[in-house]
Amino acid sequence: MTPTADATLRPIPFSPVTLPAAIDDLRARLRATRWPDAPAGAGWSLGTDVAFLRELVAYWADGFDWPAQEAALNRLPRFRADVSGLGIHFVHARAATPVAPALPLVLSHGWPDSFWRYAKVIPLLTDPGAHGADPADAFDVVVPDLPGFGYSDIPTGDPLTSIDVAGLWAELMTGLGYARFGAAGGDLGSHVSRYLALDHPDRVVAVHRTDAGLPHYQGDPADLAPEERAWLHSGAEWAVAEGAYAAMHRSKPQTIAVGLTDSPAGLAAWIVEKLRAWSDNDGTVESAFSRDEILTNLSIYWFTGTIGSSMRMYAANAAIPPAQLARRVEVPSGFALFPADLVRPPLAWLERTANVVRATEPARGGHFAAFEEPELYARELRDFFRPYRGR
């Protein structure tokens, strides 16, 4: 779909360059880290493995080349634009050589990341012909940073909910000249994509998600299928065993934001543990992400100072009324449930909450599937959205 002539947004090309003094400050803080003790043999059982983290921090201080990684990210077509008074950073990568009108696609990330989540998959979606796929499956790809994440503005008032962000993305796509488009995402981005489909069904041709969020159900459990009841139970168990971070984000984000904004080692500990726990790996985080990939994600958080504002979105979403959570998505919906992702819903739940036209279980990948397995993720999107091109 070619952008229309009445596009109103005025995107400004954006290629940030971090000042040397900021890099020097980071390195000094890393070298001055005051390390905690750790029980012998604890490994990852009590949280981040301190021995692993010490090695990662040493490399961040004296081996990692942030300017090179920043320059690589700047090779993406990046922009900033005013959307309802907020400066929004986004990648806008047009289809390379579309055989047919390219389908616009807005990809929404989650926590703990940013547009970084989709950096590997963008070329596979905009130029499928160069990667062994059908050129007719090309997309115009838009990848925004959520407000308070990455290089988008931090909201100065109340933090925004996923519903609010969906409204911003609809305005962003209008401003770029796209009347109709697809939406996809995971984690917080799954919520945003869901509300895009719920609140703008006349514009979203189809929506693809890698999760259905944690379960919310206020009806009689007896009305659920056995596998749905089991899923509700497993969701509650997961919240007890793994959900302490989310409880902190929802209730007291400013408390931990002080430490994570001041200490890059603390920031690394908070995020790296999740990269390991939520990815498809052999027990070591570096089997899913290279050290440079991990530190690129961390450096975006560090240099933008957005760890606190990113966590506040959890507090905002916790106040979304239950009636909103119970709405059913009628826009054609697809799900790709990667094997190492968080609590994975049964098909019965997906069909209860959405108009499911496709649900798959790819062979590999976890919560960060677009980054962990970009080829598999790109294939999922190409296959799912193919029937909705030209609509």
| Reduced 3-state DSSP string for 80-142 | EEEECCEEEEEEEECCCCCCCCCEEEEEECCCCCCHHHHCCCHHHHHCHHHHCCCHHHCEEEE
1 part of a folded domain? no
Residue 300 lies in a domain: yes
Q: What is the pTM of this model?
A: 0.96
CA R_g for the chain: 20
Q: Is the pLDDT of residue 176 over 90?
A: yes
Number of domains making up the chain: 1
pLDDT digits (tens, 9 = 90+) for 356-383: 999 999 999 999 999 999 999 999 999 9
Expressed as residue numbers, the domain containing 282 is: 12-388
Q: Rounded CA gap, 60 and 326, in Å? A: 44
Whether 29 is covered by a domain: the verdict is yes
Residue-wise pLDDT tens digits, 22-70: 999 999 999 999 999 999 999 999 999 999 999 999 999 999 999 999 9
Q: Looking at the domain assignment, is residue 6 inside a domain?
A: no
311 is a domain residue: yes
Cβ(91)–Cβ(115) below 8 Å? yes
Q: Is 5 part of a structural domain of the chain?
A: no
Q: Which run of H or of E encompasses 233?
A: helix 226-242
The pLDDT value recorded for residue 6 is 47
Catalytic residues: 187, 314, 367
4 within domain boundaries: no
The CATH number of whichever domain residue 29 belongs to comes to 3.40.50.1820
- Is 7 within the bounds of a domain? no
